[in-house]
Chain A
Amino acid sequence: MHLHYLDPYQPRDSVVHALDARIKLSLAVAFILVVALMPMGAWALYALLLALSLSVIVLSELGVGPVLKRSVLALPFVLAAAPLLITGGLPTLVTLPIGGGIPISAPGAARFASIAIKSWLSLQMAIVLASATSFPQLLLAMRALRVPKLFVATFGLMWRYLFVLADETQRMLRARAARSGVSGEPGRKVGGSVIWRARVAGAMAGSLFLRAIERGDRIYLAMASRGYDGEIRSFPMPVIPRAQWVVLFAAFFVLALLLGLSLVF
């Protein structure tokens, strides 16, 4: 599989990379589930979970800085929880001096912060999973988790051709840019109306679709001529070494411990 700028996988020689994909996927999902099960405002537990995810990041040798930088990118969604700041109820934490004063609720603010932190923690683990696991390994893990074979095969084929079609899209965008004027004068209107621009983009999408459908037919013919009969055949699953089982159970134990702590907190 060729390397592409889209591929999030970053090859390293770390212990996290060496871990079997099935273990990595289950641990990442377990971590995210535990984070979701944490009660609101359990700051101490959040700190422990952060420590856990930071240590995984360090162990993965992906670099703490780059991972944390990526993990902030998806946070704008936190705006969706912003109404909690106002409707969270009494007591009031602080009153914003905007038009007559907007009361910021203390429980609302705590809930808002909790949601933001939980989302951030989950995101860190998801980034490590994607950056430390190559795509074929992810497919293997999906198979092990009993995802239907047909779906796994479709998913794999999508990834294979995503690079081809992404390149094609880039070429289309470049061609459009090459034929579109740009004015150095600020505020000067360039190009047609918004509707016209939308239709140009739409026409690009339409021709991308037609090319994809034709390509799909060709791929099918090529597969059929090499003996494809609709049955997906795959190698048997590799054996997970004993040391990795130990890692899996140790990690599950730690997560269960944190969950137990949240009950008594």
Chain B
Amino acid sequence: MLSKPAEMHIPDGFLSVGVSIALWIVALIFIAISLRKVNQSLGERQVPLMGVLAACIFAGQMLNFTVAGGTSGHLMGAALATILIGPWASILVMTCVVGAQALLFQDGGLLALGGNIVNMGIIGSFVSYGIFTVIKRLAGERRVGVFLSGFTAGWTSIVVAALAVALQLAASGTTTANIAVPTMGVVHMLIGIGEGLITVGALSVVYAARRDLVTGDAPAKGGNRGLVIGGVLIAVLLAVASPLASAFPDGLEWVAEQQGFLDKAQGPAFELFPDYVVPGIQNEALATIAAGLLGMLIVLGAASALAWSRRKRATPSV
């Protein structure tokens, strides 16, 4: 059977109806835009190429490698797809993959599908695109620069998507942000390493065989400066918003309570989120998030610095 990166796929029952519908609307808007954009750049080749690449990412998610203690790492693929075929095409491909997983394999719910498309398809693609482009620009078109930016893009796409999942669950009142955000964040900081390494491995093969696919001009793939900034912004926003949300869960709690009023209007009045926090957990969680965030920044900073210095060394001083 297919191996599942299960933590990412939200099943039905976990997102409130309000959150599900909002995410569906976002997903539909971006799918419509990407259908048009990809049709402009590929024309009649769109259907066969996108179809086969979606099948490739779907099948590629079966590729795994053992880590330790019976766990294994595998590929989500948004970063790889974005780097090789551009962000819009990647959204289309990931939508097909995530849609088929929900519709046919119950990997993720149908009502929650909009959310899963947003997290793995849209956020995953935009974030990878932003991060990859920025770091590659710092590092230049050299091998090391490409690999470094590939790793960072893969890692960030997983971590940021996981943060988005945690926030959506918290906004639905399914979990509490001060626990879900650090847990999802830390777990996926580890899982993301696998994604990053596989992305680099894949890029090294493509770099050797079809360098044009990796280093090709971004505009040819349908990207632009605005998209780069947008992608980085999503990453930064979620990285900043999630610890804020978990430090001050009131905001999301408010959203959840608004949804809760719907619940209450319909049935038994339940105390949804009385302001009761287990002593100790709050501070511990805060420390974890702070450490996680700091770690993320350090890794990003280190990657950028390394990339930049490599490029300096590569360019002979005049």
Interfacial residues, chain A to chain B (CB-CB below 8 A): 6, 8, 28-29, 32-33, 35-42, 70, 74, 76-77, 80-84, 86-87, 89-90, 102-103, 105, 107, 110-111, 115-123, 126-127, 129-130, 135, 138, 148, 150-151, 153-162, 164-166, 168-170, 172-173, 194-195, 197-213, 215-217, 219-220, 223-224, 228-230, 232, 262-263, 265
> Could you tell me the dominant secondary structure of chain B's interface residues?
helix
> Could you tell me the dominant secondary structure of chain A's interface residues?
helix
Whole-angstrom distance from the CB of B196 to the nearest CB of chain A? Answer: 9
Q: Which one of A32, A36, A126, A202 lies within 8 Å of B197 (CB-CB)?
A: A202
Q: Which one of A84, A164, A262, A263 lies within 8 Å of B174 (CB-CB)?
A: A84
A206 to B173, CA, bound (A): 40
B17, B56, B267, most chain A CB atoms within 10 A: B56
A200 to B153, CA, bound (A): 19
Are B278 and A199 interface neighbours, CB within 8 A? no
Residues in chain B near residue A90, CB distance under 8 A: 274, 276
Task: Answer whether residue B290 sits at the interface, using C-beta atoms and an 8 A cutoff.
Answer: no
Are B110 and A161 interface neighbours, CB within 8 A? no
Are B63 and A172 interface neighbours, CB within 8 A? yes
A185 to B139, CA, bound (A): 45
Q: How large is the interface on B (under 10, 10 to 19, 20 to 34, 35 or more residues)?
A: 35 or more
A8 to B35, CA, bound (A): 28
Residues in chain A near residue B229, CB distance under 8 A: none
Are B6 and A161 interface neighbours, CB within 8 A? no
Task: Answer whether residue B84 sits at the interface, using C-beta atoms and an 8 A cutoff.
Answer: yes
Are B54 and A158 interface neighbours, CB within 8 A? yes
Are B11 and A162 interface neighbours, CB within 8 A? no
Are A89 and B175 interface neighbours, CB within 8 A? no
Interfacial residues, chain B to chain A (CB-CB below 8 A): 2, 6-7, 9-17, 20, 31-32, 35, 39, 43-56, 58-60, 62-68, 73-75, 77, 80, 84, 92, 95-97, 99-100, 102-107, 109-111, 169, 173-176, 179-180, 184, 194, 197-206, 209-210, 213, 263-264, 266-268, 270-274, 276-278, 281
Known A-B contacts A198-B198, A216-B49; the reply to A119 vs B14 at CB < 8 A is yes
Are A207 and B59 interface neighbours, CB within 8 A? no
A32 to B47, CA, bound (A): 31
Known A-B contacts A74-B107, A169-B62; the reply to A35 vs B12 at CB < 8 A is yes
Residues in chain B near residue A126, CB distance under 8 A: 12, 102, 106, 109-110
Q: Which one of A89, A107, A122, A165 lies within 8 Å of B59 (CB-CB)?
A: A165
A3 to B97, CA, bound (A): 20
